[in-house]
Amino acid sequence: MHTSQDEINRLDAQLLKLLDRRALMVEWMLSNADSQSVCGGIASAAKQIERVISKYDDQNSSIDDASRREVLQHVASVCLASVQELRVAFLGPKYSYSHLASLKYFGEGADFAPVGSIAGVFEAVLRGDVAAGLVPIENSTDGRVVDTLGMFVRQKLPICGEVVLPIHHNLLSRSPREAITEIHSKPQALSQCRQWLSIHFPSVSIVESGSTTAAAELAASECGIAAVASLEAGRQYKLDVIAANIEDNPNNVTRFAVLGKDLPAPTGDDKTSLLFQVNHQPGALADVMTIFKHHELNLTWIESFPSSETPNEYHFFIELTGHRDEKNVAAAFAELYKQTQQLEILGSYPRGR
């Protein structure tokens, strides 16, 4: 046993030397790059990790691909943070789904700054307090996140990345199932579990809270209280899992937009987000849609919402496949500028997975 532990110690020392060597390589690459992009560096690292994993095929290994990916992502995050500021604002508090999405994209090497509102994330990025921010933009059950789209109208902050996070809600408590009298969570989480809660806890009071984490914290301190929250929040507050994966839609996911001032280069698998208003006349929107068809652009998301400045007029938020630097996308935008009252290209970025 002693000999085995000595060998493990030697292997750990080798790993540390390799980690230091990797950090030096990252520093050298960044110092010789044309621009130092935080989001671009994260996206590039993720792409390279997938290549490494796809080429590494050891049938005798007891470590699965998901675990390898997680380790390499953490290493990449730590190395990048050692040579470049990697402070990230997100809609807090910690252990919320926004926090989990931030960890998925930036890795645990980042310095995370939870803020109290979506507007606060935008402001932190605009002030330069952080290198990037992360905000929810759409949920597969509840649809668009109105506060986020409204902020894009007011601030025009670029999107430089995307995170797609599967959302699994859990009923957590320190009280036994039969003793639960109230279930707390944020409105969106409760909405996504509405049917399950009505079937399994029809007579229990449902109470809205500011966040899933706040609900978990309350459940840890008061008897009879349960929270709908993530497993990470449950572990943090030492709560029992009364029921797991209680979301009504088993394919429930939330997409998050990564905010920053970077302009990611094309990767071959990109999306572009834009915001526009059409002229207030018959057929104006149909004419705009024809432009996308003419240039063979696939629209992946279309949302409209009223203008707060002009009654009976609307903003349109659109996502399409492709990068703004690609010829057909650039040609379509040139026509759009002529056909719209206002056009903002919010960003082109690698498609989230």
Check residue 42 and give its pLDDT.
73
Check residue 36 and give its pLDDT.
55
241-299 pLDDT, tens per residue? 999 999 999 999 999 999 998 888 888 889 999 999 887 778 888 989 999 999 999 99
Check residue 242 and give its pLDDT.
97
182-219 pLDDT, tens per residue? 999 999 999 999 999 999 999 999 999 999 999 999 99
Instruction: Please write down the HEC assignment for all residues of the chain.
Output: CHHHHHHHHHHHHHHHHHHHHHHHHHHHHHHCCCCCCHHHHHHHHHHHHHHHHHHCCCCCCCCCHHHHHHHHHHHHHHHHHHHCCCEEEEECCCCCHHHHHHHHHHCCCCEEEEECCHHHHHHHHHHCCCCEEEEEEEECCCEECHHHHHHHHHHCCCEEEEEEEECCCEEEECCCHHHCCEEEECHHHHHHCHHHHHHHCCCCEEEECCCHHHHHHHHHHCCCEEEEECHHHHHHCCCEEEECCCCCCCCCEEEEEEECCCCCCCCCCEEEEEEEEECCCCCHHHHHHHHHHHCCCCEEEEEEEECCCCCCCEEEEEEEECCCCCHHHHHHHHHHHHHEEEEEEEEEEECCC
The model's pTM is: 0.83
Check residue 120 and give its pLDDT.
95
pLDDT means per 10 residues, the chain with 353 residues, are 79 91 84 66 75 76 81 84 84 90 88 93 94 92 88 89 93 96 96 96 95 95 96 95 95 93 86 89 86 94 81 85 94 92 91 83
Check residue 35 and give its pLDDT.
58
